[in-house]
Amino acid sequence: MADNEQNSLRISLIFRKNREHGFSIEKIFRQLGDIIAQKATVQQVYVPEIKASPLHIWKNIRSGKSLSADIFHITGDIHYMVMAFPRKKTILTIHDCVFLYQSNGLKKWLLKLIFLKLPVKRSRLITTISDKSRREIIENSGCDPEKVVVVPNPVGDLFYYRQHSFRQEQPVLLFIGSTPNKNIERVIEAIKGIPCLLHIVGNLTAHAKNLLEMNNIQYEQREGLSEQALADAYADCDIVMFPSTYEGFGLPVVEGQKSGRPVITSNISPMKEVAAEGACLVDPYDTASIRQGVCKIMADAEYRDQLVKKGFENVKQYEAVAIAERYLQVYKRVKIND
């Protein structure tokens, strides 16, 4: 595709209904959309309804029928929006298949049909954020492997490095997320007796609060942070704690690396691939392993510096400009074969 043809390419990015603080999906694709708009015409569209009832789904699909574009890219979650657009022009991003592991029986069968099998069939191409998610999509939908393309998530532009001295006596451990897979209960058990401040960004259950208090762990908890406030939290911490048991990608890993902080994450896919050599890998199901990772980083300054250095190198491939170019290549592939 020639440059002038690429510049005339019209792309509609389709989002869930916007909220005050937004979602991670929207933050990612708004950023990418602004970069892609330098080489193509980009329209960012939010569906009108937030609920997932049959009536609201129908209203959202109907709202998409009036749109005109060369490429319709559904950025995540509202997979059913493929029904609004021509199959040959539709790209669907599926971030992960976690919804299949949070249900069983008839509900799981329906979710697989409505949110995976039918949307995959109705799309020209599927993009996803890791090899792990790609394998799950292919396995559960039965689609042609050539149809699913991996394009990782980008790290946000607002994340930054600020030099500071490691708080040896009481390091600040930054923990991102509140869903069960983020593994807060094992982290609490793992750091029991270690002098630290656990900074939690996300909602805390009453049970988690009780565990923190019972184990005499000093903590600070915040939620609903702006992206700038979140970036500041990374810059102010000493260690990023992300020993998750399930992720489609694991964005806090690269956010921590870009912020120049030692990262602890899981030795399972996709976190270990995302982190490469720029993180301390632990068994997320073993509190002793998590504890050992924290103690090693606290005790070994040379090891900390090594993790930070390798993290800076690794995160370059996740910069937004590089990821936007990969999406442009996907758009060109669809347009050329139109």
Taking only the tens place, the pLDDT of each residue in 264-314 is 999 999 999 999 999 999 999 999 999 999 999 999 999 999 999 999 999
**Helix, strand, or coil here: 149?**
strand
112 within 8 A of 140, measured Cβ to Cβ: yes
16 within 8 A of 26, measured Cβ to Cβ: yes
Pick the closest to residue 298 from 143, 194, 209 (CA basis): 194
Taking only the tens place, the pLDDT of each residue in 91-144 is 999 998 888 877 788 888 888 888 899 999 999 999 999 999 999 999 999 999
Q: For 296, list phi and psi in degrees, rounded to 5.
A: -65, -45
Residue 330, amino acid: V
Q: What is the CATH topology of the domain spanning 172-317?
A: Rossmann fold (3.40.50)
Please give the pLDDT value at position 59: 96
Pull the structure tokens for residue 209. Answer: 């609060």
Q: Which residues contact 74 (CB under 8 A, 6 or more apart)?
A: 14, 81, 82, 90, 91, 92, 93, 123
Q: Do domains 3-154+319-336 and 172-317 have the same CATH topology?
A: yes
Q: What are the start-end ranges of the H helices in the chain?
A: 3-7, 24-36, 54-64, 105-112, 118-121, 131-141, 184-190, 206-214, 227-236, 251-258, 271-275, 287-299, 301-315, 320-336
Q: Residue 240, class by beta-carbon neighbours within 10 Å (0-12 exposed, 13-18 middle, 19+ buried)?
A: buried
230 within 8 A of 201, measured Cβ to Cβ: yes
Please give the pLDDT value at position 101: 79
Taking only the tens place, the pLDDT of each residue in 194-244 is 999 999 999 999 999 999 999 999 999 999 888 899 999 999 999 999 999
| Helices and strands counted in the chain (H then E) | 14, 12
pLDDT (average), residues 148-155: 94
Instruction: Using pLDDT thresholds of 50, 70 and 90, give the confidence band for residue 5.
Output: low
270-282 burial: b if 16+ Cβ within 10 Å, else e = bbbebbbebbbbb
- Percent of the chain at pLDDT above 70? 96
Cα dihedral 264, 267, 272, 277 sign: positive
* 155 DSSP assignment: B
Cα dihedral 121, 153, 104, 58 sign: negative
47 within 8 A of 63, measured Cβ to Cβ: yes
170 within 8 A of 231, measured Cβ to Cβ: no
Please give the pLDDT value at position 178: 86
Taking only the tens place, the pLDDT of each residue in 272-282 is 999 999 999 99
For the chain, the structural domain boundaries read 3-154+319-336, 172-317
Please give the pLDDT value at position 4: 53
Given a cut of 70, is residue 22 above it in pLDDT?
A: no
CA dihedral 105, 111, 112, 116 (to 10 degrees): -170
* 319 DSSP assignment: B
- Percent of the chain at pLDDT above 90? 81
Please give the pLDDT value at position 131: 92
Q: How far apart, in whole angstroms, are the C-alpha atoms of residue 118 and residue 259?
A: 40
Pick the closest to residue 196 from 173, 225, 215 (CA basis): 173
* Bond preceding residue 270 cis, omega within 30 of 0: yes
CB atoms within 10 A of CB 305: 12
Given a cut of 60, is residue 87 above it in pLDDT?
A: yes
Given a cut of 90, is residue 24 above it in pLDDT?
A: no
Q: Classify domain 3-154+319-336 at the CATH superfamily level.
A: Glycogen Phosphorylase B; (3.40.50.2000)
Pull the structure tokens for residue 266. Answer: 């899981």
Given a cut of 70, is residue 251 above it in pLDDT?
A: yes
* Ranges 40-44, 155-159, 214-218, 326-330: which has the least confidence: 155-159
